[in-house]
């Protein structure tokens, strides 16, 4: 029996799920709201772990091709003090392929290959419980029914409400992303600073990370603790050390002085689309750090504002026949190198479970969910604790966290 199965979202989770089902000769409909694969920038680079993302690619029959594309040298990691002193410098051993890097765009193309994706099919609502299957509503007004709908549509999933009322909440940390292009030619000093992998600098409640992608491209991430609306009303957040109730969580400080540094004048809201205003604000936030470190911001191009949101660490739901979730739709957590790996492994495991039990689709999904919840809950707790240590009042906590990871 061939069940009608749809996966919503053509990200790592949805594409891995579809590829593994395809390998088992089971048809699957992939629905993606973007109009084309290259409709949006694909994002930065991912380190795929041997027992997670790489295992998923092996189940999809793609591991050898991944090894050709990936960059083992990208596992290198350097940590600097705010004055530029090198505190740690980890480099992969020859033959080390525990966590090689691959650009998100390359991974997407690897997974897509011969899959038939329906682009431009935005889903607005999923309604389970019908006699003839789960009803999917599309933005263009059309409707389709499936025996199983898999929500792999990310943080703001349109499928999640069919099984859970949970919505992501702000984690208290914001990232601002910028980029450097042709770094080896245009910014050779920064290329040497970054090395083959990543360089990170941690201060009080803030950090700056630069990560090499392929083709001389570098992503730079400024991260800091701040209220979610600090850009809309910066006046309100000046002098935070004198105010104690600026956000629901009670976490007010970017540092002991409490200056957000994101609005030099303190008179008007910060225009997130104004690259020079964003650059000036970030340079003020990291004022006093070593000049070569600040050059990562001075030389950046566009700036993208990314407040971090997460789901509750213990997020589960009462099983709903015909609907389930994968990846960020199920367990959105801080971006500490686990999310995409988990999502891909879950996609592969769910596909294998369905292929192994073609006569009892619902029982296969139910058993998968129990396994997913237990593992994802452990990782959600670890990544939440990790974010607290990486963006901490005590920068030594960030270094200690990396020491623990490297030793393991």
Which residues does 62 contact at the CB level (< 8 Å), separation at least 6?
19, 110, 111
Order of all β-strands in the sheet with 148-151: 117-119, 29-32, 5-8, 148-151, 323-325
For residue 148, report the phi and psi dihedrals to the nearest 5 degrees: -145, 130
Q: Both tokens of residue 268?
A: 């008007």
Which residues does 44 contact at the CB level (< 8 Å), separation at least 6?
103, 104, 177, 211, 213, 219
Is 385 within 8 Å of 310 (Cβ atoms)? no
Helix-helix angle 104-112:12-23, to 10 degrees? 30
Question: Nearest-CA neighbor of 326 among 2, 1, 4, 11?
Answer: 11
Q: Report the C-alpha gap between 376 and 170 in whole angstroms.
A: 19
CA dihedral (113, 114, 117, 120) positive or negative: positive
47 is in an annotated binding site: yes
328 is in an annotated binding site: yes
Is 199 within 8 Å of 210 (Cβ atoms)? yes
Residues annotated within the binding site for NADPH are: 40
Residues annotated within the binding site for FAD are: 47, 104, 328
Residues annotated within the binding site are: 40, 47, 104, 328
């Amino acid at each position: 029996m061939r069940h009608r199965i749809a996966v919503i979202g053509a990200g790592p989770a949805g594409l891995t799920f579809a590829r593994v089902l395809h390998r088992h000769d089971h048809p699957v409909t992939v629905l993606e709201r973007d109009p084309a694969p290259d409709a949006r920038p694909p994002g930065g680079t991912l380190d795929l772990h041997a027992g997670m993302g790489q295992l998923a690619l092996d189940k999809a029959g793609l591991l050898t091709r991944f090894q050709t594309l990936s960059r083992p040298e990208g596992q290198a990691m350097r940590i600097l003090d705010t004055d530029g002193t090198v505190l740690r410098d980890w480099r992969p051993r020859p033959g080390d392929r525990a966590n090689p890097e691959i650009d998100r765009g390359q991974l997407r193309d690897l997974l897509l290959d011969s899959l038939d994706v329906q682009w431009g099919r935005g889903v607005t609502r999923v309604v389970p419980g019908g006699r003839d299957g789960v009803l999917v509503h599309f933005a263009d007004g059309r409707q389709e029914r499936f025996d199983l709908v898999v929500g792999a549509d990310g943080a703001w999933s349109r499928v999640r409400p069919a099984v859970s009322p949970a919505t992501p909440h702000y984690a208290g940390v914001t990232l601002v992303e910028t980029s450097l292009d042709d770094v080896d030619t245009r910014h050779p000093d920064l290329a040497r600073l970054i090395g083959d992998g990543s360089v990170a600098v941690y201060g009080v409640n803030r950090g700056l990370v630069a990560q090499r992608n392929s083709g001389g491209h570098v992503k730079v991430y400024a991260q800091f603790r701040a209220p979610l609306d600090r850009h809309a009303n910066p006046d309100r957040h000046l002098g935070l050390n004198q105010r104690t109730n600026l956000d629901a969580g009670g976490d007010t400080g970017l540092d002991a002085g409490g200056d957000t540094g994101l609005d030099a004048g303190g008179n008007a809201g910060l225009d997130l689309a104004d690259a020079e205003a964003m650059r000036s604000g970030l340079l003020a936030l990291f004022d006093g750090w070593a000049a070569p470190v600040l050059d990562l911001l001075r030389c950046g191009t566009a700036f993208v504002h990314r407040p971090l949101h997460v789901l509750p660490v213990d997020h589960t739901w009462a099983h709903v026949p015909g609907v389930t979730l994968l990846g960020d739709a199920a367990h959105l957590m801080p971006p500490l190198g686990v999310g995409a790996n988990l999502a891909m492994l879950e996609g592969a495991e769910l596909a294998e479970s369905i292929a192994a039990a073609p006569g009892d689709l619902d029982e296969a999904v139910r058993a998968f969910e129990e396994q997913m919840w237990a593992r994802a809950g452990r990782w959600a707790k670890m990544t939440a604790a990790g974010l607290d240590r990486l963006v901490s009042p005590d920068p030594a906590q960030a270094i200690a966290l990396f020491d623990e990871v490297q030793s393991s």
